[in-house]
Every structure is written in structure tokens, then in C-alpha cells.
């Protein structure tokens, strides 16, 4: 990917000039658990100033980046990064733990992340993703492939939130999503077997033995454990 990053950064430098402060890779690609054809390249772009004109100018490089199948990066100003860490503690903890500076300065190096709202955001995000999981199950349940896709895609999002669950409990999370899910199951004393099975499917294409009955059983167990995680986070509010 280095040549694609270099070409994209050249386009960004041409587009934004001296206004471009930093380009940072974060998430699974920086953490070391990137899965080709499944994981995304998450990029943060920091500008010194940001106007509609600056964003319109980004259309050309973003169009080419998106054509290669990558999501549009998140844009911040340098000053916003200093003030937003308390509002998005989950995201900023993720960026802080695993990142690679592709261009410019490390604008996240001295960010002060407040955990005042971490538990609330964690529960909110978990419950929101559980509602999505239930809704998406309805169309996905018509086929084994649909359910496998739903579980492998959603678990990566849940695992990112499990990292916040560990932080709420005062623990330093591991780096990879698989390790984070295992540590969460251990800390909360829940059955993490379904998480392990889904990661095996995602990383090793270990889905050939699953039929309609077994895949629905796996999904049921998976959803139950997600509900157990949410219940544990909710209890912290009441304690």
C-alpha cells in the first residue's frame, strides 16, 4: 500500500499546500490486525484551517482514493483535535494506541483525552450497534453467506468498542481486535467462544463447515454475548 499512500499524499499536498498539517493512519492497519479485502484504511487528515473551499478542493483526491475502495478520511483542524478528545474518547483512544504518521507532524502526540464521558459513549455506541445488528439480521438470515458476512463485519466494530470497555474497567487493552475481544470476555466472565469462531472465519476463511442451522446458532450465541457486554457496562453506571 505504500505506493498508494504516497500517491494519495502527493495529491493532498497539491490540493492543500501548506494548509496540510498531517496525515495519520490509524485502526487495524496500524495495529497489525489488518485483513486484506475486509479491513479499511482509516486516515485522519489535519488542516491548519478548514473552509468549504478547502473541502471542495479535496474532491479530486478523494474521488481517486474512493475508487480504490477506501473510505473517505476524517478531516479535523489542528485546533479541533485539541478540543474534541473529551467528546470522542473512544475514537481518540483508538488513534492514540495505534497510529502511523504518513505525512507532517504527529498532531495526536500531546492530545489530552478526558474519560469523563467514556462509559456513557461506550454504552451508547454498543446499544446502537446492537440495534443495527438485529435489523441487519433480518435480510441477512436468508443465506449462510449473508449471516457470515454480517458477523465478520460487525465483530470488528464491536471489538473496537470492547477496547473502550476495558478502558472503563481501568485496564490497558491489547493491540489487536482478537486479543481485545478475548480480554473483554475474560474480564466480564462471559463466554467468548463465539468471538473466537467469528475471528477464525474472518481471518482464515473457516466457514466451509457451517450450514444454516450451525450459522444461526453461532449468531444467536454471538448476539447473546454482545448483550452481556452491554449489561456489564450498564451496571457500572448504577454502581
Single out the residue in 104, 129, 163 at which a domain terminates. Answer: 104
| pLDDT attached to residue 146 | 94
C-alpha cell at 136: 441487519
pTM recorded for the entire structure? 0.70
Say if residues 126 and 230 touch (Cβ distance below 8 Å).
yes
Q: Are residues 91 and 128 in the same domain?
A: no
Q: How far apart are CA 23 and CA 9, in angstroms?
A: 8
Q: Are residues 131 and 230 in the same domain?
A: yes
Average pLDDT, the chain: 88
CATH number of the domain that 153 lies in? 1.20.120
pLDDT digits (tens, 9 = 90+) for 157-201: 999 899 999 999 999 999 888 999 999 999 999 999 999 999 999
Pairing of strands 20-26, 74-77: unpaired
Name the more confident of 103 and 96.
103
Q: What is the number of structural domains in the chain?
A: 2
CATH number of the domain that 89 lies in? 3.30.460.10
| pLDDT attached to residue 30 | 64
Has residue 137 been placed in a domain? Answer: yes
Residue with C-alpha cell 474512493?
A: 66
For residue 34, pLDDT over 60 is answered with no
Has residue 14 been placed in a domain? Answer: yes
What are the two backbone dihedrals, phi and then psi, of residue 133, each rounded to the nearest 5 degrees?
Answer: -60, -45
Q: Which domain holds residue 35?
A: 2-104
Residues 6+ away with beta carbon under 8 Å from 160: 90, 94, 177
Average pLDDT for 64-77: 88
Single out the residue in 104, 135, 166 at which a domain terminates. Answer: 104
Single out the residue in 79, 104, 129 at which a domain terminates. Answer: 104
Nearest to 198 by CA among 227, 225, 173, 168: 225
| pLDDT attached to residue 93 | 78
pLDDT digits (tens, 9 = 90+) for 98-150: 788 999 999 888 787 777 788 989 999 999 999 999 999 999 999 999 999 99
Q: Are residues 135 and 90 in the same domain?
A: no
Indicate the pLDDT class of residue 204, thresholds 50, 70 and 90.
confident
The strand order across the sheet containing 99-104 reads 74-77, 42-47, 20-26, 99-104
What are the residues facing 24 on neighbouring strands?
A: 44, 101
Amino acid at each position: 500500500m505504500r505506493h498508494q499512500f504516497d500517491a494519495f499524499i502527493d495529491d493532498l499536498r497539491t490540493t492543500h499546500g501548506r494548509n496540510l498539517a498531517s496525515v495519520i493512519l490509524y485502526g487495524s492497519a496500524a495495529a497489525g490486525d489488518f485483513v486484506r479485502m475486509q479491513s479499511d484504511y482509516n486516515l485522519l487528515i489535519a488542516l491548519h484551517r478548514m473552509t468549504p473551499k478547502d473541502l471542495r478542493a479535496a474532491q479530486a483526491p478523494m474521488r481517486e482514493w474512493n475508487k480504490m475502495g477506501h473510505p473517505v478520511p476524517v478531516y479535523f483542524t489542528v485546533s479541533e483535535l485539541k478540543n474534541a478528545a473529551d467528546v470522542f474518547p473512544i475514537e481518540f483512544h483508538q488513534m492514540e494506541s495505534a497510529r502511523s504518521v504518513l505525512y507532517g507532524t504527529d498532531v495526536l502526540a500531546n492530545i489530552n483525552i478526558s474519560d469523563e464521558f467514556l462509559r456513557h459513549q461506550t454504552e451508547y455506541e454498543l446499544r446502537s450497534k446492537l440495534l443495527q445488528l438485529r435489523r441487519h439480521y433480518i435480510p441477512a438470515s436468508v443465506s449462510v453467506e449473508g449471516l457470515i458476512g454480517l458477523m465478520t463485519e460487525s465483530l470488528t466494530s464491536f471489538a473496537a468498542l470492547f477496547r473502550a470497555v476495558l478502558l472503563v474497567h481501568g485496564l490497558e487493552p491489547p493491540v489487536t481486535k482478537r486479543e481485545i475481544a478475548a480480554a473483554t470476555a475474560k474480564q466480564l466472565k462471559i463466554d467468548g467462544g463465539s468471538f473466537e469462531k467469528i475471528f477464525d472465519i474472518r481471518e482464515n476463511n473457516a466457514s466451509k463447515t457451517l450450514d444454516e442451522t450451525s450459522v444461526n446458532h453461532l449468531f444467536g450465541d454471538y448476539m447473546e454475548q454482545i448483550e452481556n457486554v452491554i449489561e456489564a457496562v450498564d451496571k457500572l453506571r448504577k454502581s
